[in-house]
Amino acid sequence: MVSPDELARAVTVLRGGGLVAFPTETVYGLGCDAEAPTALRRLYAVKGRPPGHPVIVHLAEAAALDSWATDVPDSARVLVDACWPGPLTVVLRRSARVPDEVTGGRDTVGLRVPDQPVALALLHEFDGGIAAPSANRFGRVSPTTADHVRADLDGDVDLVLDGGPCRVGVESTIVDCSLADPVILRLGGVTRERVTEILGVPVELRVAGERAAPGTLDAHYAPDARVVLVEQATVVEAAEEMLGDGRTVGLLAAAVPGELPAGVVVLDPPADADEFARVLYARLREADRRELDVVLVVAPDATGAGAAVRDRLTRAATGSGR
């Protein structure tokens, strides 16, 4: 995993304005000192991300919340008490500590304490906020292993900390608590049902449109292969049609039909929605490695952990086939 020497080197890189890719429980992040505008500009350049898209600031502990945010409402306190460390990002009014480069000029900031031992060790040693988007180039599938990061960013990142594969596999749930009523801006590792249970009121979902999280674009989650969502009952028919058109076809589904036409590449089936989330991005990357033209996907139901998976797949299906 990560030695104390490597951790110390990572802290030195961050203090010197460099970029460190590190594991979180959701996906790998591309981190820099959240208070160093020059480092932040380099981070945006390496990501290929348009300025104006805000990045999340990662903290070592919830106690740091009030140093990065102001006017923290009870809703945010209740959520972070229940979910941190964990795959939840809260959007709050930013404090003077947060540079414009982090928020794209907005008056709010996204904050989270990740639940991953290497990330937490790094944050504690660094003793500051680490700004980190997912460690992929803009528009590519998010990385869930250190190898994914190296494949995407090799040469442009000063250090990659390898903490093994990510446990959750999809990004954090984002809840905007800067509004009178909290709103979910992105489905992710904490289910909507859980957010509702913690807050004790139904929570609106605003994952598309103007007021959604800036930069939540469909193409973000898309591989080169075209992603086509199908129902379990129509897998065979859809595969035959695609093969008939001369395309190479893969299948990602929890249940693989026995009578599948020859030539379909079966991507290792996830057992349940949690595993689907965990392996989703790796499977989409595998589809590209195998140079598939099309991946047929039977998405899990949009409840619990399945909702975030379905959200990413729906976007991938819209944004793919470039």
Binding site for ligand TXA (CB under 6 A): 24, 26-27, 29, 53-56, 87, 89, 91, 103, 106, 108-110, 114, 132-134, 171-172, 174, 185, 213-216
132 binds, among ligand TXA, Mg ion, none (CB under 5 to 8 A by kind): ligand TXA
CB 92 within 8 A of CB 77: no
**Structure token digits, residue 259:** 């009578």
CB 54 within 8 A of CB 112: no
Which single residue is written with the structure tokens 């990065």?
68
Q: How far is the CB of 204 from Mg ion (least distance, A)?
A: 23
**Choice between 34 and 239, CB closer to Mg ion:** 34
Cα–Cα distance measured from residue 287 to residue 174, given in angstroms and rounded to the nearest whole number: 28
27 binds, among Mg ion, ligand TXA, none (CB under 5 to 8 A by kind): ligand TXA
Distances (CA, A) of 101 to 6, 174, 220, 253: 28, 19, 21, 41
Q: Which residues have CB under 8 Å from 233's CB, separation 6+?
A: none
Kindly report whether the peptide bond that precedes residue 85 is cis, defined as omega within 30 degrees of 0: yes
Figure out which of the listed residues 134, 173, 216, 320 binds Mg ion, where binding follows CB under 5 A: 134
Within 13 Å and on the Cβ side, how many CA atoms surround 274? 4
Provide long-range contacts, Cβ within 8 A and 24+ apart, for 151-154.
Answer: 153/21, 153/30, 153/46
- Judged by beta carbon distances under 5 to 8 A according to partner kind, the member of ligand TXA, Mg ion, none in contact with residue 99 is none
Q: Which does 214 bind (CB under 5 to 8 A by kind): ligand TXA, Mg ion, none?
A: ligand TXA
Residue 303 makes CB contacts below 8 A (sequence gap 6+) with 193
Compute the 3-state secondary structure of the chain and give helix, strand, coil in percent, each to the nearest 5. Answer: 35, 15, 45
Q: Which residue's Cβ has the minimum distance to Mg ion?
A: 134
CB of 184 to ligand TXA, least distance (A): 11
CB of 20 to Mg ion, least distance (A): 17
Question: Quick one: which segment of 126-134, 187-195, 263-271, 306-314 binds Mg ion (CB under 5 A)?
Answer: 126-134
Residue 223's binding partner out of ligand TXA, Mg ion, none, with CB under 5 to 8 Å set by partner kind:
none
Q: Provide, rounded to whole angstroms, the least separation between the CB of residue 234 and ligand TXA.
A: 32
- Residue closer to Mg ion by CB (options 108, 134) is 134
Contacts of the segment 39-46: beta carbons below 8 A, 24+ positions apart: 40/99, 40/101, 40/102, 40/131, 41/101, 42/17, 43/19, 43/131, 43/133, 44/101, 46/19, 46/153, 46/156, 46/157
Given a contact cutoff of 8 angstroms between Cβ atoms, the answer to whether 147 and 43 are in contact is no
Query: Among residues 86 and 300, whose Cβ is nearest to ligand TXA?
Result: 86
**Measured from the CB of residue 315, what is the shortest distance to ligand TXA in angstroms?**
12
Size of the site for Mg ion (CB under 5 A): 1
Interacting partner of 109 out of ligand TXA, Mg ion, none (Cβ under 5 to 8 A depending on kind): ligand TXA
Q: Taking the complex as a whole, how short is the minimal distance between the CB of residue 133 and ligand TXA, in angstroms? A: 3
- Minimum Å distance from CB 135 to ligand TXA? 7
The residue among 19 and 213 lying less far from ligand TXA, judged by its C-beta, is 213
Report the residue number, 84 or 221, with the smaller CB distance to Mg ion: 221
Binding site for Mg ion (CB under 5 A): 134
